Amino acid sequence: MSLAKMVESEIIPRLMLAHKEPFNGLARPIPEPAEFQDHLGAETTEAFCRMALTRESESLLAFVGTLLQRGLTLQAIYVDLIIPTAHRLGRLWDEDEVSFTDVTIGLGRLQQVVRVLGWKTPVGDDGGSARSALFMAGPGEMHTFGLFLIDDFFRRAGWRTWIEDASAARGVEQTVETHWFDLFGMSLGAETQLETATSVIQAIRKASRNPDIFILVGGRVFDQRPELVSIVGADAMAATGCEALILADKAVRRVASGV
């Protein structure tokens, strides 16, 4: 089923079932998508964030479906709505406006939106490339939404992807020993886990079947202190899924050309 057909036949009808209650914590009703202009910005992010905190994923899907129907691209939805909403949830938690449980539930609803849109949209055709990526949350990470989103970006671009459980470092070593990966990506949110993350990266380089495996990192730690990228032993950092894809594609092409 095409994306347009899916929006018309499956997502838009759900809009009629969406809840109408205001978010108790922010004390004002959530606008409907029709009230926004044909662009995404802070106001839309704020509304979508409140929806993630108070409504089920079906309501979020209906909101996204309406925006898609009005001409916004799926790429814009990911980059200019879903990612900023996840960041906004994190800031609300930092500012003690919502609880850890609230943020976890909200991120879970966003993840469900990404999962449904990923299932309903075609995977990119890269001409039969065998490019593959292994992703893992940093040791001790509680929220893995960003990693899930990056994985979805790569999958839709035609990569074979695998998410490894961060609770077992030995497990990821066995995975790279057994399977060939062009890329290993790790997301890290706390500097307290830098030493462990460094050990994991060193172990992966040593165990990997691919001696030229490209190691990419991301997350709040590296956004705030880019110099830590080389300290943990990574090749590069990326702040967004688009940037990660560009860096990964360049690295794979460079290895293939022998440069």
Q: Which pLDDT score is estimated for 12?
A: 42
Q: What is the CATH number of the domain that holds 247?
A: 3.40.50.280
Which pair of tokens denotes residue 247?
């860096």
Please indicate, yes or no, whether residues 158 and 247 belong to a single structural domain of this protein: yes
- Hey, is 19 helix, strand or coil? coil
Kindly indicate the confidence band of residue 11, based on its pLDDT and cuts at 50, 70 and 90: very low
Which pair of tokens denotes residue 190?
């706390």
Q: Give the mean pLDDT of 147-161.
A: 82
pLDDT at 32 over 70: no
Inter-residue contact 14 to 59 (CB < 8 Å): yes
Please indicate, yes or no, whether residues 32 and 12 belong to a single structural domain of this protein: yes
Kindly indicate the confidence band of residue 21, based on its pLDDT and cuts at 50, 70 and 90: very low
Which pair of tokens denotes residue 177?
């020993």
pLDDT at 141 over 80: no
Kindly indicate the confidence band of residue 1, based on its pLDDT and cuts at 50, 70 and 90: very low
Please indicate, yes or no, whether residues 183 and 73 belong to a single structural domain of this protein: no
Please indicate, yes or no, whether residues 241 and 194 belong to a single structural domain of this protein: yes
Going by C-alpha positions, the residue among 202, 228, 74, 69 that lies closest to residue 149 is: 74
* pLDDT, mean over the chain: 76
Please indicate, yes or no, whether residues 171 and 235 belong to a single structural domain of this protein: yes
Residue pLDDT, tens place only, 75-86:
788 878 888 888
Least confident of 126-130, 133-137, 253-257: 126-130
Kindly indicate the confidence band of residue 115, based on its pLDDT and cuts at 50, 70 and 90: confident
Inter-residue contact 134 to 174 (CB < 8 Å): no
Domain, as residue range, for 66: 3-120
